[in-house]
């Protein structure tokens, strides 16, 4: 290695990888099979919106238009609910083992077309192909498989009591895991015998509409699932429609509260999966190198567009300097850039609006006196990108410690005692997830009891499984998705206890 290429200014300890080598581009080349125009999926068919209006879906990695997406208005949402209501009686009466077969078929067809879906998801949302290929698409298929297995065993969902479907369910999902969130919502609803009207996020509708093709290929009866696309107004129509027996929403706490206000006084069942500001807590007896990997995964996975992201790092004071220096060293070698490149660690920020939000909150962090670290990295000229960012010297009152940034930005705070760690971790209106890194099992048990979070990971982070219920406390929402508990949220009791 020429002396001029030797890295400067790094901590001496530790192995150094990364910018010692240039990586050749390794683009994923599978054909995403995109259409120029996507219509609404209502009653098992693609139909034009009554208004005749369409909006652009943009690739955030290069700002190029991918497709026209139909804009659903009140008449379209109404038509979707009518189609779902028309299909409900026969779908609910279909034996569970038959409903299970449809779900198995959907899962298998998704697996067959996994690369195509992964590329489409990456182009539409900006996430690295490694993640859509290895996480989003396989996990979405896993949710359909898991719930297919439940469909003929529903008597065990609530042992001793018979359960029945609710009716037509209205669902609205965000843009960070478009296909996966859709699977989380569709699979339990269908397994239980409900019909669905779902709205994907405005910036990421494409994989839902591609999945509509799979539903057709699987022979799912028309009307059981309906997709209406559009922005927040369409979402409000889906949530507020009188034909919904239940609404299930995943998105920001602000919009979740607005929906709850909108539905106050109705007897609508609700599930709310909202925002988070998770604490990832590292004790001095933790396996530090593993913890550093967990911290990096916790905040930089999917550019930090993760509701349960470990965005507040709480480090035990004796190891705070060590952990911070290892983290800085580690994020110097994260590769930011073309999401379709298999070497990319951080892809594009989902939209111009989200990039502006991240910039605004990062500027507030600097203004309020926290110390920012960003490794030198070249960002592509076109598209929406933000470098991995750490803040030290963060106090609990800083906005970057309180507000959900939903980007690749980590706020580092320290603590001295277990009680202080618990108090600081719980000092947030949110309660979705947390992480604990320590060698002591007893400490893990105590922390998992006292942390007010729906999920507590120990010596790992961001682990998901369809059999494990996921959901929040406090302003992170209520209701669970996944596992037996998730199915119960789509059921009513048909027999007394
Ligand atoms: P938003 O709340 O802005 O949007 C979520 C969905 O709701 C989108 O489809 C959006 O449409 C739609 N929507 C917007 N306004 C309304 C309205 N008034 N009535 C009904 N629907 C509406 O969230 P983001 O898309 O920005 O997603 C990020 C948020 O989602 C973060 O806070 C994150 O923590 C949370 N989230 C929570 C998860 C959990 O499991 N708890 C999982 C993933 C994300 P459009 O996109 O067109 O505006």
Ligand 1 proximity of 201 Cβ (cutoff 6 Å):
yes
Distance CA 288, CA 294 (A): 10
pLDDT at residue number 214: 98
Quote the pLDDT of residue 10.
47
Q: How far is the CA of 481 from the centre of ligand 1 (A)?
A: 16
Q: Which residue in 202, 307, 308, 403 is the catalytic one? A: 307
Q: Distance, CA 171 to ligand 1 centroid (Å)?
A: 11
**Is 273 designated active site?**
yes
Contact of 408 with 378, CB cutoff 8 Å: no
Measured between alpha carbons, how far is 438 from 152 in angstroms, rounded to an integer?
41
DSSP assignment of 79-107, as one string?
HHHHHHHHHHHHHHHS-HHHHHHHHHHHH
Q: What is the pLDDT of residue 27?
A: 86
Per annotation, catalytic residue among 28, 121, 202, 273: 273
Q: Is the CB of 149 under 6 A from ligand 1?
A: no
Mutating to test ligand 1, I would choose from 203, 247, 255 the residue with most ligand atoms within 8 A of its C-beta, which is 255
Q: Which helix (H) or strand (E) holds 70?
A: strand 64-70
* Ligand 1 center–CA 176 separation, angstroms: 9
Ligand 1 atom closest to the Cα of residue 230 is 47
Question: Which helix or strand (DSSP H or E) is residue 74 part of?
Answer: helix 74-93
Four-CA torsion 452, 455, 456, 457, nearest 10 degrees: -160
| Backbone angle region of 477, left / alpha / beta, with phi > 0 → left and psi within -120 to 50 → alpha | left
Is the Cβ atom of 69 under 6 angstroms away from ligand 1? no
- Supply the DSSP string of 345-380, one letter for each residue: SB---S-HHHHHHHHHHHHHHHHTTPEEE----PPP
Tell me the pLDDT tens digit for each residue of 115-154: 999 999 999 999 999 999 999 999 999 999 999 999 999 9
Residue 151 beta carbon below 6 angstroms from any ligand 1 atom: no
CA distance 135 to 131: 5
Please name the residue that has the structure tokens 């027999």: 495
Q: So what's the pLDDT on residue 18?
A: 52
| 368 has catalytic annotation | no
| This prediction's pTM | 0.94
Partners of residue 72 on adjacent β-strands: none
pLDDT at 494: 86
CA-proximal residue: ligand 1, atom 12 (nearest): 232
Query: How many whole angstroms from 232 Cα to the centroid of ligand 1?
Result: 9
Return d(Cα 367, Cα 120) in angstroms, integer: 39
497 residues of the chain, pLDDT tens digit each: 344 444 444 445 555 555 556 778 888 888 999 999 999 999 999 999 999 999 999 999 999 999 999 999 999 999 999 999 999 999 999 999 999 999 999 999 999 999 999 999 999 999 999 999 999 999 999 999 999 999 999 999 999 899 999 999 999 999 999 999 999 999 999 999 999 999 999 999 999 999 999 999 999 999 999 999 999 999 999 999 999 999 999 999 999 999 999 999 999 999 999 999 999 999 999 999 999 999 999 999 999 999 999 999 999 999 999 999 999 999 999 999 999 999 999 999 999 999 999 999 999 999 999 999 999 888 999 999 999 999 999 999 999 999 999 999 999 999 999 999 999 999 999 999 999 999 999 999 999 999 999 999 999 999 999 999 999 999 999 999 999 999 999 999 987 76
Ligand 1 centroid to 347 CA: how many Å?
A: 20
For residue 239 and ligand 1, the question of a CB distance below 6 A is answered with: yes
């Amino acid at each position: 290695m020429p002396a001029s290429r030797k890295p400067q200014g790094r901590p001496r300890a530790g192995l150094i990888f990364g910018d010692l080598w240039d990586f050749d581009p390794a683009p994923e080349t599978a054909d995403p099979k995109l259409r120029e125009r996507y219509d609404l999926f209502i009653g098992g068919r693609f139909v034009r919106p009554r208004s005749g209006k369409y909006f652009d879906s943009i690739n955030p990695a290069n700002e190029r238009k991918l497709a026209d997406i139909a804009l659903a208005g009140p008449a379209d949402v109404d038509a979707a609910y009518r189609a779902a209501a028309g299909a409900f009686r026969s779908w609910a009466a279909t034996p569970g083992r038959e409903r299970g077969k449809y779900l198995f078929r959907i899962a298998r067809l998704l697996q067959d077309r996994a690369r195509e879906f992964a590329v489409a998801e990456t182009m539409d949302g900006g996430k690295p192909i490694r993640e859509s290929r290895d996480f989003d698409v396989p996990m979405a298929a896993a949710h359909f498989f898991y719930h297919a297995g439940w469909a003929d065993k529903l008597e065990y969902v609530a042992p001793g009591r018979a359960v029945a479907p609710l009716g037509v369910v209205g669902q609205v999902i965000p843009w960070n895991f478009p296909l996966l969130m859709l699977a989380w919502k569709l699979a339990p609803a269908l397994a239980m015998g409900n019909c669905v009207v779902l709205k994907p996020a405005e910036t990421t509708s494409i994989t839902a509409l591609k999945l509509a093709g799979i539903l057709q290929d699987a022979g799912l009866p028309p009307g059981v699932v309906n997709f209406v696309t559009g922005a927040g107004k369409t979402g409000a129509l889906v949530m507020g429609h009188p034909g919904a027996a239940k609404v299930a929403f995943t998105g920001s706490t602000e919009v979740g509260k607005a929906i709850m206000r909108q539905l106050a006084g109705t007897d609508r069942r609700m599930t709310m999966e909202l925002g988070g500001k998770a604490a990832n807590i590292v004790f001095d007896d933790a396996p530090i190198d593993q913890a550093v990997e967990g911290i990096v995964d916790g905040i930089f996975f999917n550019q930090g567009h993760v509701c349960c992201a470990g965005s507040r790092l709480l480090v035990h004071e004796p190891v705070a300097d060590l952990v911070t220096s290892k983290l800085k060293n580690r994020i110097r070698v994260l590769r930011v850039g073309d999401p379709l490149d298999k070497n990319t660690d951080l892809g594009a920020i989902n939209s111009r609006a989200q990039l502006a939000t991240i910039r605004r909150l990062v500027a507030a962090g600097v203004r309020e006196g926290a110390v920012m670290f960003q490794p030198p990295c070249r960002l592509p000229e076109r598209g929406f990108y933000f470098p991995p960012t750490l803040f030290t010297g963060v106090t609990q009152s800083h906005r970057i410690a309180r507000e959900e940034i939903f980007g690749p930005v980590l706020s580092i705070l320290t603590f001295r005692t277990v009680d202080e760690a618990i108090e600081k971790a719980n000092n947030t209106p949110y309660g979705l997830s947390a992480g604990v890194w320590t060698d002591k099992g007893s400490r893990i048990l105590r922390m998992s009891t006292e942390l007010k979070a729906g999920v507590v990971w120990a010596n790992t982070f961001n682990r998901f499984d369809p059999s494990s219920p996921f959901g929040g406390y406090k302003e992170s929402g209520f209701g669970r998705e996944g596992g037996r508990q998730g199915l119960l949220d789509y059921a009513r009791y048909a027999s007394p206890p």
